[in-house]
């Protein structure tokens, strides 16, 4: 789960990480008022969206008067911001974060993320702050500093000093940098984050300050943190993905025209690969899991049919824990409630496959039954191209 910058900024401050003082605005007048309240002569108006690359997309503006802050707010609010991460449709701008400008002497990148290879965490840092870390890693890998963190040990002073030396942080700021790294670790572990990022972490006249804050949280741990769960902004998410989460389905929308409903992430990936191999294009990744009920399957079916891009639906099930007759009943129930106007191809194999095929055959629905994985994929691709 993602949160907005202003929410991450407050959590940073709660954990003692020096972060920008700012005010959230939802209208042009509120943005102008925020600038006056903050004081100073220069402010930054930031669009609050769940997408990176805001600056290049025009979502971060420097202003020199409260009136200008209001005018910028009018151009941003209630519009959609298109960034390199948002997709062509962009994401809606419903709120702004107004912060006072500061003198920046030097910028750094600092993040704490999962380190699956070592079953721990990893600090990633660079002296090239304010830029896209992916490009830095690709074009100048030597500019990236890494510090593995063993969860049994935590973040020690010597680790922070070593990282500060690699980045070239002045000696007088080493203690402050250590405090920031240790606070990031506490925030990460106590709130079940999946990433804590500061970009940039800047040296200013006030010392080290997080000028931009980003937090991601592990969805499966949100039951422990109702305060974090309450920060979710579903307006920033794909409506289909929001609907899928209500049925405990794993759904990711893509740009193809063959809707896929599969049980198991591995089979789902293989199904998308097979579709591409035979000249088709998957419209989504949808894993119904190994214990979905008839209601969950019906929900998945409705989500697929809600996508106008979908020209055919391929259901590919290998029944193990998930029984094929349950899947078949869900398909029939959903199809009878929905006006299905696209070809429906179903391949069932495994537990109760024969019973499942009987349910489909006796449903009276126009369903194309496939005996094998490849046969099902070919039928779906042919149906789209017909």
Distance CA 99, CA 46 (A): 8
Distance CA 222, CA 193 (A): 10
Phi/psi of residue 106, nearest 5 degrees: -160, 145
* Per-residue DSSP letter, 206: T
Contact predicate 196/184, CB 8 Å: yes
Nearest of 45, 190, 203 to residue 110 by alpha carbon: 203
Helix (H) or strand (E) holding 240: helix 239-246
Strands 312-319, 258-262: parallel, antiparallel or unpaired by DSSP?
A: parallel
Tokens 């040296």 belong to residue:
203
User: What residues contact residue 152 under an 8 Å CB cut-off, 6+ apart?
Assistant: none
Distance CA 273, CA 266 (A): 11
Distance CA 13, CA 101 (A): 18
| Catalytic residue (choose from 6, 15, 109, 251) | 109
Distance CA 188, CA 121 (A): 10
| Catalytic residue (choose from 30, 107, 178, 197) | 197
Active site residue 251: no
Distance CA 45, CA 69 (A): 7
- Please list, residue by residue across 146-161, b when 16 or more beta carbons sit within 10 angstroms of its beta carbon and e when fewer do: ebebeeeeebeeebbb
Using CA atoms in the order 174, 176, 177, 182, what is the torsion angle rounded to 10 degrees? 120
* Per-residue DSSP letter, 366: -
Q: At what angle do helices 265-277 and 373-385 cross, to 10 degrees?
A: 50
| Active site residue ranges | 109, 197
């Amino acid at each position: 789960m993602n949160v907005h910058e202003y929410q991450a900024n407050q959590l940073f401050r709660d954990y003692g990480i020096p972060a920008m003082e700012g005010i959230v605005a939802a209208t042009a007048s509120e943005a102008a008022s925020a600038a006056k309240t903050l004081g100073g002569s220069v402010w930054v108006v930031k669009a609050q969206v769940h997408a990176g690359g805001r600056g290049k997309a025009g979502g971060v503006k420097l202003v020199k008067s409260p009136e200008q802050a209001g005018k910028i707010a009018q151009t941003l609010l209630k519009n959609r911001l298109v960034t390199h991460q948002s997709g062509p449709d962009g994401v809606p701008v419903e709120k702004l974060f107004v912060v006072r400008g500061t003198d920046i002497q030097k910028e750094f990148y600092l993040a704490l993320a999962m380190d699956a290879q070592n079953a721990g965490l990893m600090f990633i840092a660079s002296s090239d702050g304010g830029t896209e870390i992916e490009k830095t890693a690709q074009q100048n890998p030597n500019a990236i500093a890494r510090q593995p963190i063993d969860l049994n040990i935590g973040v020690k002073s010597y680790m922070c000093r070593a990282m500060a030396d690699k980045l070239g942080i002045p000696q007088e700021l080493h203690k402050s940098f250590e405090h920031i790294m240790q606070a990031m670790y506490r925030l990460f572990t106590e709130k079940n984050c999946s990433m804590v990022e500061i970009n940039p972490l800047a040296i200013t006249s006030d010392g080290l300050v997080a000028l931009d804050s980003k937090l991601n949280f592990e969805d499966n741990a949100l039951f422990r943190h109702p305060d974090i769960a309450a920060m979710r902004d579903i307006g920033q998410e794909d409506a289909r993905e929001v609907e899928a989460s209500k049925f405990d389905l794993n759904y990711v929308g893509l740009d193809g025209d063959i809707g896929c409903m599969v049980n198991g992430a591995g089979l789902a990936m293989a199904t998308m690969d097979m579709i591409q191999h035979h000249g088709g294009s998957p419209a989504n990744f949808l894993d119904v899991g190994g214990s979905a009920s008839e209601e969950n399957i019906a929900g998945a079916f409705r989500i697929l049919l809600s996508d106008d891009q979908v020209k055919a639906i391929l259901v590919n099930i290998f029944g193990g824990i998930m029984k094929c007759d349950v899947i078949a009943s869900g398909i029939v129930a959903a199809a009878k409630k929905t006006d299905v106007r696209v070809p429906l191809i179903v391949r069932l194999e495994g537990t109760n496959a024969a019973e499942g095929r009987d349910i489909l055959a006796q449903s009276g629905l126009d369903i194309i039954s496939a005996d094998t994985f490849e046969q099902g994929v070919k039928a779906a691709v042919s149906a789209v191209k017909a």
